[in-house]
Amino acid sequence: MTDDETGEAISKANLRYATESFYRADPADYLESRLEMLVLLGAKPSEVSDLFRGGLEYQGLVFGPSDPQADTDPSIADGSKSPSPELERYLLLESQLLLHHACETALRLFLVFASGSDTPWVELNVNRSHAAFKRRVKHEFVDALPARKTIGFVCFGYSERPADIEESDWNASLDATERFLRAFARVLLDDAPIYNAMKHGMGIAPGNAVLLVDGHQFGGGPSLEYPESTGWRDDGTREWSLTTRWVDQKHGLSLTCAAVRFIQSMWELGQYRHDCGPAPKRIWNPGGLSPIDLRSPTYGAKTWTWRLAEEFDPERVKPPH
């Protein structure tokens, strides 16, 4: 074997190793574990609290046991099955972080697998600009939609309808997948201020705001409050406001579940195509399901914005006296 042939063989072996390493990541498993921990805390708050009060140790770090004479959360001390207000706030924030993370992962991986690249890890890491990615998401999933052949290939393993599947069932699956792709995109784009506020310094306040207009209630329930601003205008000013966003937790958790199943299907199909895993056992097919079906029937107003102040850029304009 010549030096060139040896070098080529080493390069191919290295690329193969990198692809196999990529498929050991299993993002769906990670996201599902976070979802399970979230559900556990929400469904069994007193049981989890009891475990910590009894003392827990992990990796040499010890939590508890707590002083039995110390003050305890009354919602747990009296045997309540409902999370405390403090825990409710945590669950609300974590559910939104997880939803955004799952939707972004689903969209990024769809674009990776849609490229048909033999090196998916390159496609995934080639562009880290979040602003550029959001522009691409809007172009690919909101202004338009991927070709149905592409959706079939990435999500179900077939560019064309298999002979053993009825055309109506095939079209229903593609239609539903389009709706979920667009729903994932809308989370990424519409909820970007929430995600950024949580990610950069936790500048966001969870609560249970109520919107009353002339005595009529239009919004109420779990909510997130955060400041945001417009971009700088030509006149050297920008406007700051305080936005309240009401959160449909049922919809968010359900959409997270859908994104995890979506990722799982794409991942197993990708593993199989690249000889990094067996034939998929679980292909998630939304069938006739729509993201709208996941919404809570009591969900009302979505956002309310209060104008706070106008800021002047001293480098461009002098503020009025």
Query: Residues 52-104: pLDDT tens digits?
Result: 888 888 888 888 775 555 445 544 444 456 788 889 999 999 999 999 999 99
- Residue, of 13 and 315, whose pLDDT is higher: 13
Q: What is the pTM of this model?
A: 0.84
User: What percentage of residues in the chain have a pLDDT greater than 90?
Assistant: 36
In a 3-state reduction of DSSP, which class is residue 71?
coil
Report which of 93, 111, 110 is spatially closest to residue 194, judged by C-alpha positions.
Answer: 93
Q: What pLDDT, on a 0 to 100 scale, did the predictor assign at position 6? A: 47
Q: Residue 105 is encoded by which pair of tokens?
A: 């992962």
- pLDDT at residue 1 is higher than 70: no
What distances in angstroms separate CA 171 from CA 87, 158, 296, one per listed residue? 43, 13, 27
Contacts of 252 (CB under 8 A, 6+ apart): 95, 96, 99
- Report pLDDT digits (tens) over 182-211: 999 999 998 888 888 888 788 888 888 777
Does residue 219 sit in helix, strand or coil?
A: strand
Higher pLDDT, 273 or 79: 273
Query: What are the pLDDT digits (tens) for 126-165?
Result: 777 888 999 999 999 999 999 999 999 999 989 999 898 8
pLDDT the model gives residue 232: 81
| Residue 164: partners with Cβ closer than 8 Å, 6 or more residues away | none
Judge whether residue 258 has pLDDT over 60.
yes
Size of the chain in residues: 321
Is residue 226 over pLDDT 50? Answer: yes
Residue 145 tokens read as 């939609």
Give yes or no for residue 40 having a pLDDT over 70. yes
The beta strand positions in the chain, using DSSP E, are: 56-58, 61-63, 205-207, 210-213, 216-220, 223-229, 237-246, 303-312
Question: How much is the pLDDT for 219?
Answer: 66
Mean pLDDT of the chain: 84
Q: Are 204 and 197 in contact (CB under 8 A)?
A: yes
Residue 252 contacts residue 223 (beta carbons within 8 Å): no
What pLDDT sits at residue 3?
Answer: 45
What is the reported pLDDT for 80? 54
Distance in angstroms (rounded) separating the CA atoms of residues 176 and 178: 5
Beta-strand relationship, 216-220 and 223-229: unpaired
Confidence of residue 218 (pLDDT cuts 50, 70, 90): low
